[in-house]
DNA sequence: AAGAATTTGTAAAAGACTTTTACTTTCCGG
DNA sequence: CCGGAAAGTAAAAGTCTTTTACAAATTCTT
């Protein structure tokens, strides 16, 4: 099967690299790997993978510099692997152009879910002819982009313009986290850190209208210190 | 001078036709004329004038049918001449695609102002490459389309989004009247007659912010029963 | 594991904008 | 000049946005 997705892993620790490779190969992905940043960059451009999984803690190069280097010439989706618990690193990687991140240690399901999300999103945002879907669906929620309406279990949920805009934005990147500053920039057109509060209040209002009780959010999930993510699991 | 504007007058009453012709020729326009609707339509397509001045009360054809016929194949600006005091006719003509109207009797200055406005607007909306201006200026008011800001006498006037949208819309068609339904459709996306009230209230608020006193409106003028017009006279 | 610090959640107040209402003023034909 | 229709406008009512103040959850520290 030659139309399998090609995934490049840039990771110096061999046991993690092997772990990831095994999972991906078992799931019909074609896997390439590089052990340092220099080789990794070269392979991105010589092998044009469909997805890059990148460890931020490489010995020879700073992970963020590597992302910038790749982004200068490629839109390939990048998932960042981060051992560090420090949120700031994740946020920076995402704002530099990474598409998602996974914190070590991670589960098989988590890895596969992220990979699927990254590949799906990149298909829908092909350069030039951006594929536009009419609807988004997760669990019992349906978003009609044409009507700008959202229904849960067939019953319409009445959102304000701002609320709808936020939910639509997250849904068009379902499965991947969007940083606070990304969201704020797209919703309000500028980005000051004070706006995070507005976003959180809107989030709370949306969740209440979605009929969700505190502690059991099914649609929009928070990533501490980073941002929000629209769930795409059917569960 | 061959780049003079060519204006076609479709008018059955010879004294009006001659009156208009004389005024226009004196002002360096090239004038063509037709005495009935049939000839008029033919000439629109055979002589491709830059502007059509059309009497609504022709003997052989209903004026509105004539507008529709012209609009099927041409975007030439049309100024309607109407003896009738009935506003409904003007509104219908405008909604069918006429660009402006003049009520008989009219003054030389009024005719020339309308002609200039119609020709100017059509230049800025050339098919395909719509020419976009960065600023609009009339008297001491300046609208910056990039900044979405309006200043009068150098002092910024703070408008709400809706208010700004209305003023911008009128300014991009300065000198010509826009019907209530045209404005409402563009501002609120739908058109129900009840919205005229909302528009009027917004108008009142804008005018107050512009520092205009009742009865001396310099920027936005009302046309009874028809709509609003952004003034373009420097006076 | 308990407590401190940070981050997120949320109710409610405050503020801004929109829409409706009710009334006044202006316009225009007779 | 009068009367009806249309436009103007102040203010009330309603909705949405933003801020505030505090509660709850999460993570870090010890």
Q: Return the HEC string of chain A.
A: CCCCCEEEEECCCHHHHHHHHHHHHHCCCEEEEECCHHHHHHHHHHHCCCEEEEECCCCCCCHHHHHHHHHHHCCCCEEEEECCCCHHHHHHHHHHCCCEEEECCCCHHHHHHHHHHHHHHHHHCCCCCCCCCCEEEECCEEEECCCCEEEECCEEECCCHHHHHHHHHHHCCCCCEEEHHHHHHHHHCCCCCCHHHHHHHHHHHHHHHCCCCCCCCCCEEEECCCEEEECCCCC
Spatial distance from the CA of A62 to the C1' of C5 (Å): 30
Nucleotide nearest residue A159, measured CA to C1': D16
Start and end residues for every CATH 1.10.10.10 domain found in chain A: 135-230
Provide the CATH topology of domain B135-230: Arc Repressor Mutant, subunit A (1.10.10)
CA–CA distances in Å: residue A23 to residues A11, A111, B147: 15, 9, 52
User: Which CATH number describes the domain made up of A6-124?
Assistant: 3.40.50.2300
> Å between A198 CA and C14 C1'?
14
B166-219 pLDDT, tens digit each: 999 999 999 999 999 999 999 998 878 789 999 999 999 999 999 998 778 999
Conformational region of residue A12, where left means phi above 0, alpha means psi within -120 to 50, and beta covers everything else:
alpha
Walk across the sheet containing A177-179 and list its strands. Answer: A177-179, A227-230, A220-223
- Whole-number Å distance, CA B215 to C1' D1? 21
Q: How far apart are CA B170 and CA B220, in angstroms?
A: 8
Q: Which of A75-79, B58-62, B160-164 shows the lowest per-residue confidence on average (mean pLDDT)?
A: B58-62
Task: Specify the domain boundaries for CATH 3.40.50.2300 within chain B.
Answer: 6-124
Nucleotides, chain C, CB distance < 7 Å? 7-12, 16-22, 25-29
Check if residue B189 sits with its Cβ under 7 angstroms from strand C: no
pLDDT tens digits, residue range B23-34? 999 999 999 999
Residues 17-76 of A with CB under 7 A from strand C: none
Residue B127 has pLDDT above 80, yes or no: no
| Contact flag, residue A126 CB and nucleic strand C, below 7 A | no
Q: Is the CB of B18 under 7 A from strand C?
A: no
Q: How is residue A234 written in tokens? A: 């059917």
User: Which tokens belong to A231?
Assistant: 């769930």
Q: Is the CB of B221 under 7 A from strand C?
A: no
Distance A83 CA to D28 C1' (A): 17
The whole-number pLDDT of residue B128 equals 47
Q: Is the CB atom of residue B130 positioned under 7 angstroms from any atom of strand C? A: no
Distance A225 CA to C7 C1' (A): 7
pLDDT of residue A131: 58
Tell me what the mean pLDDT of segment A159-188 comes to: 95
Give the residue whose CA sits closest to C12 at C1': A201
**Tell me, in Å, how far CA of B178 is from C1' of D12?**
30
Global pTM?
0.82
Note the CA–C1' distance, A211 to C21, in angstroms: 35
């Amino acid at each position: 099967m030659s139309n399998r997705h090609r995934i490049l892993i840039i990771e110096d620790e061999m046991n993690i690299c092997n772990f990831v490779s095994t999972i991906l190969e078992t799931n019909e992905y074609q896997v390439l790997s590089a052990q340092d940043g220099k080789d990794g960059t070269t392979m991105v451009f010589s092998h044009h993978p469909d997805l890059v999984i990148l460890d931020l803690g490489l010995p020879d190069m700073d992970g963020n510099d590597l992302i910038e280097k790749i982004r200068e010439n490629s839109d390939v989706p990048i998932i960042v692997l981060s051992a560090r618990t420090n949120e700031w690193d994740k946020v920076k990687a995402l704002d530099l152009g990474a598409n998602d991140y996974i914190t070590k240690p991670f589960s098989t399901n988590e890895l596969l879910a992220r990979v699927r999300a990254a590949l799906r999103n990149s298909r829908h945002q092909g350069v030039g002819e951006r594929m536009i879907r009419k609807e988004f669906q997760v669990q019992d929620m349906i978003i009609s982009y044409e009507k700008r309406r959202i229904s849960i279990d067939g019953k319409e949920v009445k959102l304000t313009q701002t609320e709808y805009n936020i939910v639509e934005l997250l849904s068009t990147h379902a499965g991947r986290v969007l940083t606070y500053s990304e969201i704020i920039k797209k919703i309000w057109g500028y980005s000051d850190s004070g706006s995070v509060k507005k976003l959180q209040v809107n989030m709370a209002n949306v969740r209440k209208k979605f009929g969700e009780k505190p502690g059991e959010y099914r649609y929009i999930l928070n990533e501490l210190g980073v941002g929000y993510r629209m769930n795409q699991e059917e569960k």
